[in-house]
Structure 1
Amino acid sequence: MEKGMLLIGLGMGMVVLGFLLVFIGILLGALSGESEVEGGGVIMIGPVPIVFGTGRAATLAVILAVLLMVLWIVAILLMRRG
């Protein structure tokens, strides 16, 4: 398999995983009946994360943003090598 096809497949898989996680989160929230709502998100512009949110969700978003930034840098370094 070519590098490009592998990256396309990984990207599509991550999008599907994201939709599944959102669906599971909505389902769990609806079934638990809790009224407290927290949210957060990350916008990646290249390797620079912009994080927003409230409570624990914002903390988790910061951790995930740092992880995404490191993965992006590693991927760029690996692509330059090969």
Structure 2
Amino acid sequence: MAEINIVSIGIAMILLGFLLVFVGTLTGKSDGKVAVGGVIGFIPFGFGNDPQLVKIAIVISAVLAILFIVMALRGFL
């Protein structure tokens, strides 16, 4: 039952992302700033066209990596 809820939340987040991109294209601004972050193994990374957003993406990725490690050590995963 919990897996269905997690999948539903994931699908809702993806649809929300598509909606935000669609609404963003309607504003007509062409100076969009973007940054992407992630974790490979235990190493957080980030890239983008705005240094401040890249720093935020790396910090969020690092926090998620630490959270994942703590949850794994406590046996939640």
* TM superposition score normalised by structure 1: 0.63
- Indicate yes or no: 2:17 matched with 1:22: yes
Specify which of 63, 68, 71 is matched with residue 64 of structure 2: 68
Compute the displacement of 1:14 (Å).
Answer: 5.7
Q: 1:19 to 1:61 in 2, by over 3 A?
A: same
Count of aligned pairs between the two proteins: 75
Asked if structure 2 preserves the Cα contact closer than 8 Å seen for 1:47 and 1:72, the reply is no
Which structure has the highest helix share of the two?
A: 1
Residue segments in structure 2 that go unaligned for 5+ positions in a row: none
Structure 1, unmatched stretches of 5+, are none
Q: Hey, what does 2:49 align to over in structure 1?
A: 54
Q: Matches of 1:15 and 1:37 in 2, distance apart? A: 25
- 29-38 or 54-63, larger mean C-alpha shift: 54-63
Question: Is the 8 Å Cα contact of residues 40 and 51 (structure 1) preserved in structure 2?
Answer: yes
Give the conservation status (yes or no) of the 8 Å contact 1:38–1:54: yes
Verify: 1:37 aligned to 2:32, yes or no. yes
- TM-score calculated relative to the size of structure 2: 0.66
Dislocated runs of 4+, deviation >6 Å: none
Distance in 1 between the 2:41 and 2:5 partners? 20
Match of 1:77 in 2: 73
